[in-house]
Amino acid sequence: MSHVSPTITGRASQVVLNLYLVIFFLYMFLPLILMVLAGFNDFSPPSVTVWKGFTFRWFGELAADTRMWTGLINSILIATLVIVIALPLGLAGAFLVTRLQSRFNGLLYGVMVSPLLTPGIILGISTLVFWRDLSVPGGLFTAAMAQATYIASYAMLMFMARLQRQDMTLEEAALDLGATPARAFRRITIPFLKPAILTASVIAFLQSFENYNTTIFSIGGEHTLVTEIGSRMRFGLSPAVNVIGMIFVVLTFFFAALYVLFREREKRRAAAALG
């Protein structure tokens, strides 16, 4: 058993801890519940303290909002571009760090993970400044480049985790048996990395889609769904934003439940394998 037996913590402290968990989750979820509720309130600006009756009209208002739709399309475009740019970079970085035996490894690794430790707005600004010097103005492309800078680091860490579990003898055997390096790469390394490539694509898409701080500084006059939501929250508040919130909450809940179920199954399978 991986968890500590109940006798180790007294009954009293167990009660206190449970109470603490309940309060914490109320704190985490009450604001979200209020936001969802206000999306059904026939009153604008969004509120739960002034209740004017139940309505679906904000759903219709949202569906007719063309700026939101172009934002959604832009978000998907940028996210796709980010996957195309960040995954090969992350993969190359992971190969270099895991296979290169050099005293510069630490430095190399440090530089490649540094975008994860840099504030998002700095990545946005430096990308914007860099591309303007090459006479490329801020837009969807610069936003994708700024996001790819740090999403490539995420991808690299995921690929490294997988590569560290790779059975190197398989690759060695293929090479010894006369396969060209390109063939061994295509037939052994890539199939082995496939699950990691899939997860990295999903993570990269979500990271890009949800990003605000980096995007707002690098996108110029264009907008994504999330930057548009941001400006709606500051100017001209409408419960249509709450409806978007509702959609995000439902989707997130669905995917998080899937993830947790998957994780539990993996854990149980690992435990069963151990006997």
Partner 1 sequence: MTSLLRTFGPSLTAVILLLTGLWIVGMIVAPQLIMVDKSFWYLDRGGDAGALSVRIDSLYNDVDLLGWDKTDTEALEPSAERDLKLVEIEQQITEKKAEITELETREIKPKKVYSLANYTLMGAAHFAIFAKTIFAALAVTVIAFIVCYPIAYSVAKLAPPGKAAIIMLGLIVPYAINELLRIFAWLMILNYNGVINVMLGFFGMEPVPFLESGSGVFIAMVYAYVLFMVFPIYNTVETLDTAQIEAARDLGAPMWKIHLRVILPHAKPGIAVGAIMTFMLSAGSYAVPYIMTRGIAAPWFTQLIYNKFFESNNWNAGAAYAFTLLITCTLFIFLLMRIFKIGIKDIAR
Q: Rounded to the nearest whole angstrom, what is the least distance from the CB of residue 234 to partner 1 in the complex?
A: 6
Question: In the complex, what is the shortest distance from the CB of residue 60 to partner 1, in angstroms, rounded to a whole number?
Answer: 20
Among positions 15, 173, 190, 257, the unique one binding partner 1 when judged by CB under 8 A: 257
Distance CA 225, CA 243 (A): 13
Whole-angstrom distance, CA of residue 65 vs CA of residue 184: 51
Member of 76, 130, 136, 170 binding partner 1 (CB under 8 A): 130
Q: What is the dihedral of CA 72, 223, 144, 255, to 10 degrees?
A: -30
212-241 residues near partner 1, rule: CB under 8 A: 212-213, 216-217, 226, 229-230, 233-234, 241
Length of the chain: 275
The amino acid present at 247, given as its one-letter code, is I
Size of the site for partner 1 (CB under 8 A): 100
E strand residue ranges, the chain: none
* Choices 51-59, 68-76, 191-199, 206-214 (CB under 8 A): range interacting with partner 1: 206-214
Q: Is 260 in the site for partner 1 (CB under 8 A)?
A: yes
User: Which token pair is 57?
Assistant: 């009209």
Is the distance from CB of 226 to CB of 209 less than 8 angstroms?
A: yes
Which secondary-structure segment (H or E) carries 24?
A: helix 11-38
Whether residue 45 has a cis bond before it, omega within 30° of 0: yes
Under the binding rule (CB under 8 A), the answer on residue 84 touching partner 1 is: no
Q: Which of 66, 101, 135, 169 binds partner 1 (CB under 8 A)?
A: 101
The contacts of residue 12 (CB under 8 Å, 6+ apart) are none
* Of positions 2, 66, 135, 169, contacts partner 1 by CB under 8 A: 2
Cβ 21 to partner 1, closest distance in Å?
Answer: 7
User: Which of 12, 66, 103, 133 contacts partner 1 by CB under 8 A?
Assistant: 133
Q: Does residue 93 touch partner 1 according to CB under 8 A?
A: yes
88 touches partner 1 (CB under 8 A): yes
**Candidates 13-21, 54-62, 67-75, 196-204 — which segment interacts with partner 1 by CB under 8 A?**
13-21
Q: Tell me, letter by letter, the H, E, C secondary structure of 70-94.
A: HHHHHHHHHHHHHHHHHHHHHHHHH
Residue 19 interacting with partner 1 (CB under 8 A): no
| 12 lies in the binding site for partner 1 (CB under 8 A) | no
